[in-house]
Structure 1
Amino acid sequence: MVDFDALTRANLRRWEQAKLTRKVISDKVAKSLVAAKARYRAVEAKTGVPWPVIAVIHERESSQNWGRSLAQGDPWNRVSVHVPEGRGPFNSWEEAAIDALLNCHPHLAKRKDWSLAGVLIALEMYNGLGYASKGVPSPYLWAGTSQYKSGKYVRDGVYDPGHVDQQLGCVAMLLSMMAIDPTITFTGAKVTSSTPQAPHMPSIATPSKGSIGAFIASIFNVISKRKS
């Protein structure tokens, strides 16, 4: 049984402390994802799922292959054979993506919380909670950042602690995308727990010096001053 409160706090701390470890690659991927913003926003309009979330899932599931489904990376013009199996065929990538978000577990289109905390939980649920149940960072989120070293489910139910995921995690892509497109923000993130954070512990409001959280906070401060 996954403790979602603990997972939320762990993921927010990881976000605050994360540093890109494959920045050249993540920046290149981010440029490609941001360039397709219009297509992702068309799916967002039908599902309510933020377009950056759709974009990073697309990259994780199929390396942004427009011939593959967002659900599991199978060709969308044929009936899917991998979980979720039996979906399709569809008439377009967009139609398949809408089906994946509306009708397939974990039904992201039904979620209302798209704060940073909500985004991280949604992405972890999309891939599955096997890593959370082990208390380890999910490579689906954290590969390509300092928060991930090794460990991966190499096939269903088989976890190899020494295997290193070669794909970029969603967080690495999101951080690079946010640096390119400042309109990408995830507001309202809060650490909710019956046990308050220790005064010295970094938080979203007071990230640790030199962390990605501090960098993002500085960008937000500049933007806020320009608007005021």
Structure 2
Amino acid sequence: MISFESLKAEYERNWAGLEIRPGRLAEANAVARKALNGKATYQQIERLTGVPWHFTALCHYREANFDFDTYLGNGESLHRVTTIVPKGRGPFATFVDGAVDAFRIENFIGARDWGIERMLFRLEAFNGFGYQAKGVKSPYLYGGSTLYGPPEARGGKFVRDHVFDSNQVDSQLGTAVILHAMMSLDSSITLDGGAQFAGHIEPEDEAASTIVLMQQALNRLGANPPLAEDGISGPKTRAAVSQFQQRNGLRDTGLLDAATVAAITRATQQPGPAGQTADLSDVLTRLEDLAQVLRPSAGGTTLPATIPGNTLPAVSNDPISLFERLFSLVNKATPMPGPVTATNAAPVDQLKQVVDLLSTLLSKDGKPMLGQVNGALGETIGKLLDGKKTALGIGGSLITALLSSVTASPNAGGLAGLLGTIVSAVPGLGQFAMPISLALAAWGVLGKLEKWAQGTAPPPKLTT
């Protein structure tokens, strides 16, 4: 299985032995100067994401030849929705907006190790590890150096998807070559990382266990070509995810979002007896299965004990507990860590993800049993919360406002001490919970309006 630890020593050796071919040195310096010309823009992205500006420059060179009117994730126009993986992104107002989105998808936001070994691993993963299987050093990294191509090294090129020609040599300069040239022109570039982050789990490492399980599931479902079960969401995996989404009526993005993970999980399970009606315990069982998919495997990290959803009881009829578990699963499936603040997904967007996930898990032939508002939750949860969303939303808003106004104090006692402890244990409580509560209340109002429009609202209670 390909992993950073398995390739780290190789990257270290390759970087130490990298030499730019004399005939390509002038070209490498010219490309490096183009990269330095965009430094100010790349530094804006670094301030938003924590991704070093020179890493952004390298990706920009290989994906779009420094065109600032393109989406960094695949080189397509900023002004249209993308049509190749990652699909369905944009349009974006600026190059910076698109770059932040691309790095979020790649799980680079919140990463801390940007040493040369980790950087080369991320760059190769961005393009795919197909050259590793051919015993050839990837031209995406080493093109134009003595590490790739004759007479010093083996050549070869993927001339199209899944077709490798050992007699071809990629003429484009590699990212490691450009970085080498950039460092000779700009002494401010440093390659921090390495030993100080030994043992630290990076965002892409944390996501790997989920990706491995999805690759295994897609292989069982007949992925063609079969996927390497390596925990890396490379071009082949994204193409397989895209094919699954197209076949199952999901939004075609090629990305393992919460709804897609739920659908793949469900597709690999045997259907229950015909005519069996779902109940809440069945819903929780499915959520537990999904939690196991999203939770890292044994030996890795686990969900913190303070996060709701770390364990799921066998049976529960508490809708609040159910929503806590759903939100914890959505957050685990689509992490938004790191220094990005303004561009983080809004809680209302997370509520939509919950609806998408529940709809995928509980829909029957794509047709909700209730009205559109309650039916979006599926028959079971829709009925469970029918008539309760407004009260839950208003109550949650009041409780959130109360907790958010409390200042935690280690010396406080009684109720104030209890509330302070809760607030300190849930950072960002108001920013997350208040919009969710207000959205739930608004959703309840929409449900009531829908019932009145359909003539299904209960008659008013008589008063004496």
- Structure 1 residue 146: deviation in Å? 0.9
- 1:125 aligned residue: 125
Aligned: 1:70 with 2:72: yes
One-letter amino acid of the counterpart of residue 66, structure 1: F
Q: CA offset at residue 118 of structure 1?
A: 1.2
* Cα offset, 1:3, TM superposition: 4.4
Distance 1:119 1:25, change over 3 A: same
SS of 1:153 mapped into structure 2 = strand
SS in 1 for 2:181: helix
Aligned 8 A contact 1:77 1:92 in 2 = no
The match for 1:27 among 29, 54, 57 is: 29
Distance in 1 (CA, whole Å) between partners of 2:99 and 2:122 is 16
SS at match of 2:32: helix
Distance 1:188 1:95 in 2: 26
Q: Which has the higher helix share?
A: 2
- Determine whether 1:9 maps to 2:9: yes
8 Å Cα contact 1:7-1:132 kept in structure 2: no
Answer with 1 or 2: which has the greater Rg.
Answer: 2
Residue 166 of structure 1 pairs with residue 185 of structure 2: no
**Where does structure 2 lack aligned partners over 5 or more consecutive residues?**
150-154, 199-464
Match of 2:116 in 1: 116
Q: CA deviation at 1:9?
A: 1.1
**How many Å separate the matches in 1 of 2:179 and 2:58?**
7
| 8 Å contact kept, 2:62–2:175 | yes
CA distance in 1, matches of 2:156, 2:80: 32
After superposition, residues 142-181 of structure 1 pair within 5 angstroms as 142-149=142-149, 150-181=155-186
Alignment correspondent of 2:299: none
State the alpha-carbon separation in 1 of the partners of residues 182 and 108 from structure 2: 21
Q: Quote the residue 1:47 is aligned against.
A: 49
In structure 1, the residue matched to 2:140 is 140
Give yes or no for contact 1:143–1:165 (8 Å, CA) kept in 2. yes
Could you tell me which runs of 5 or more consecutive residues in structure 1 were left unpaired when the two chains were aligned.
193-228
Over residues 104-161 of structure 1, what are the superposed CA-to-partner deviations in whole Å (9 max), with x where a residue is unaligned? 2x32224221111111111111112222343421111110111111222222222222
Q: What amino acid sits opposite 1:43 in the alignment?
A: I
TM-score normalized by structure 2? 0.39
Cα distance in 2 for partners of 1:6, 1:151 equals: 23
**Structure 1 residue identity aligned to 2:174:** G
- Any idea what the Cα deviations from partners look like across 1:143-184, whole Å, max 9, x if unmatched? 011111122222222222222112111011101100010110
Whether contact under 8 Å (2:113, 2:192) holds in the other structure is: no
1:3 and 1:100 mapped to 2: Cα distance? Answer: 21
What is the alpha-carbon distance in structure 2 between the residues aligned to residue 152 and residue 46 of structure 1? Answer: 35
* Distance verdict in 2 for CA 1:3–1:47, change over 3 Å: closer
Q: State percent identity of aligned pairs.
A: 38
Match of 1:203 in 2: none
Q: Which runs of 4+ in 1 moved over 4 A?
A: none
Measure, in 2, the Cα distance between the counterparts of 1:110 and 1:166: 34
The AA in structure 2 aligned to 1:26 is A
| Separation in 1, partners of 2:83, 2:167 | 29
Q: How many residue pairs align between the two structures?
A: 189
What corresponds to 2:297 in structure 1?
A: none
RMSD: 1.6
